[in-house]
Structure 1
Amino acid sequence: MHATTTVAVDLAERGAAHGGSRRLTGHLTRPAGPGPWPGVVVVHEALGVNDVMHRQAERLAKAGYLVVMPDLFTDGGAVRCLVPTVRAALSGHGRAFRDIGAARTHLAQDPDCTGRIGIIGFCMGGAFALLAGHDGEFDAASVNYGRLPKDLDAALAGSCPVVGSYGARDRSLPGAAGKLEASLDRLGIVHDVEEYPEAGHSFLNDSEAGPRALRPLMRIAGIGPHPESATDAWRRIDAFFATHLKAQARKA
């Protein structure tokens, strides 16, 4: 793998065009060497854009994807934005989805993007990735311990292919993997869903995140890295994205 480059991008104009946030920034991570590449929108966890999320974006860029990670807390900060953003993630509607659309547009208009674009989300971002995949804008979605909507079949009708990863020790999402897989089966949507017996919430993180004072409690709650499960989950994500983003022809 070779070095990548990351730059800040202003997504406000595209966000306004979508009816999204008046202020919206993001981070564009570009692979080394010449393009074009497939694109991936990274949707951050509830803790916001942090070092862990930057490393996830960098990992995808090293795998050969042009990556944009919008900061969904730009317009007001995490304290003001967290509650309405989480509500949007659970309802399937709201400003945050339009901000994600702005990030997708940024990729689609980049001459170094092939036009095939996926979305990946973690925690809160996983819920966004799941619901953003149904409108035809994305070609594949990676859903990582994302909460499920109440009317799952209705929310997923017409979805793009989905690769989902959950932890059996995640007390906040009991049975989520089975419910998601059953719904995708009923709807005939291409998918790969796995529940890891030894993993909990945020198991794909490569280090602990959040306030240091809360980390012991998070460990007790089963929240944090599980490298063995993460290695296999990334193997599946890489293979799924390679099939649906790299191996497919450019969209008309």
Structure 2
Amino acid sequence: MSDVAIVTEWVDLKVGESVMSAYVARPAEPGAYPGVVVGHEIYGLHATARAAADRLATLGVIVVMPDLFHRVAPRAELELHVDRDRGLELLRTLERPEVVDDVAACLDELRRRNAVSLNMVGFSAGGHVAYYAATQLPLAATAAFYPGWLTNTDIPLSTPEPTVEATPGITGRILLFFGGEDPLIDAEARDELEEALSANGIQHDIVVYDPAPHGFLFPGRDSYRPEFAEDAWSKLADLLR
């Protein structure tokens, strides 16, 4: 995939009895493109999340990023770090069935746009959403950047049993990225994920960048590590190619 010109827009998607906003980034030229649902961080539809969606689209994919907080804080765009507690509060409002409904609505939108494959990419909390969605929905490939809480029951999304226990439901390929110095996801948790994926014969790769911290992918942050970020983008492009 090479960089292509893109266009962006906001759309409203029906989810049950509610309406959910979603950010769409897609190649400007008509064509047959893979489709990707993007799971955002606890900061909602922040500019950095939209920038990541845009970069994904330049790889030659149709991106739909749902507003996962639409039921309680529509179009929330929280300030990085300053609003972390509010973001964690919003994260704890997410329940498994509702999140699956949100992702399924995005997959329907991608089908409507004639996407040639259905995939998902998630960042941090959105990475957890992506991993769980992969256990429930027919995703061809899933990439999750530093997804937390997969091996414990600390948030509603990881209950009643840890999300890692749903791993047998994954039918596509999965790619996980972690920072070796991420205090939120330690080596024990990474090993547990590796064991679950291997035991269930799931095509997967777990990439650990040492000494990267949590949140190494997005520019403009103290945690940004360009050398690791660019390698991760290259691997992500290969996954979606």
What TM-score range do you get, normalising by the shorter chain?
A: 0.7 to 0.9
Match in the other structure for 1:130: 131
The gaps in structure 1 that reach 5 residues or longer are: 209-218, 243-252
2:108 aligned with 1:105: yes
Aligned partners of 1:3, 1:100: CA distance in 2, in Å? 26
- Name the amino acid aligned to 2:128: A
Question: In percent, how many aligned pairs have the same letter?
Answer: 31
The answer on whether the counterparts of 1:198 and 1:229 sit within 8 Å (CA) in structure 2 is: no
Pairing of 1:81-230 with structure 2 (within 5 A): 83=89, 85-86=91-92, 88=94, 93-111=96-114, 113-114=115-116, 116-147=117-148, 148-150=150-152, 151=162, 154-159=165-170, 160-175=172-187, 176-208=189-221, 224-230=223-229
Q: Which residue identity does 1:98 align to in structure 2?
A: D
2:216–2:224 contact (8 Å) kept in structure 1: yes
* 8 Å contact from structure 1 (residues 165, 177) kept in 2: no
Which whole-Å CA distance do the structure 1 matches of 2:194 and 2:70 have between them?
Answer: 34
Q: Tell me the residue number matched to 1:10.
A: 12
Kindly provide the CA deviation profile for residues 41-65 of structure 1, in whole angstroms up to 9, marking residues without a partner as x: 0110111111111111111111010
Q: In 1, are the aligned partners of 2:42 and 2:87 still within 8 Å (CA)?
A: no
Q: How does 1:233-244 map to 2 (within 5 A)?
A: 233-242=232-241
Aligned counterparts of 2:45 and 2:5: Cα–Cα separation in 1: 21
Q: 1:86 to 1:164 in 2, by over 3 A?
A: farther
- Secondary structure of the corresponding residue to residue 240 of structure 2: helix
1:24 aligned residue (2, 5, 20): 20
- Determine helix, strand or coil for the equivalent of 2:136: coil
- d(CA) in 1 for partners of 2:234 and 2:59? 11
Supply the distance in 2 between the matched residues of 1:228 and 1:105 (Cα, whole angstroms).
35
Query: What CA distance in whole angstroms lies between the structure 1 residues aligned with 2:87 and 2:207?
Result: 31
Give the count of matched residue pairs.
217
Secondary structure at the aligned position of 1:146 is classed as: coil
Residues 1:43 and 2:39 aligned together: yes
Gaps spanning 5+ residues in structure 2: where? 77-84, 153-161
Give the superposition deviation at 1:28.
1.1
Match for 2:19: what amino acid?
A: R
The runs of 4+ residues in structure 1 deviating greater than 4 Å are 78-82
Partner in structure 1 of residue 81 of structure 2 = none
Q: Is the 8 A contact 1:6 1:30 kept in 2?
A: yes
Cα displacement (A) at 1:237:
1.4
> C-alpha deviations, 1:127-164, integer Å up to 9, x for none?
01111101242111101110214445531103121000
C-alpha root-mean-square deviation of aligned residues, in Å?
2.1
Q: Helix, strand or coil for the counterpart of 2:119?
A: strand
The letter for the 2-side match of 1:154 is E
Greater fraction of residues in helix: 1
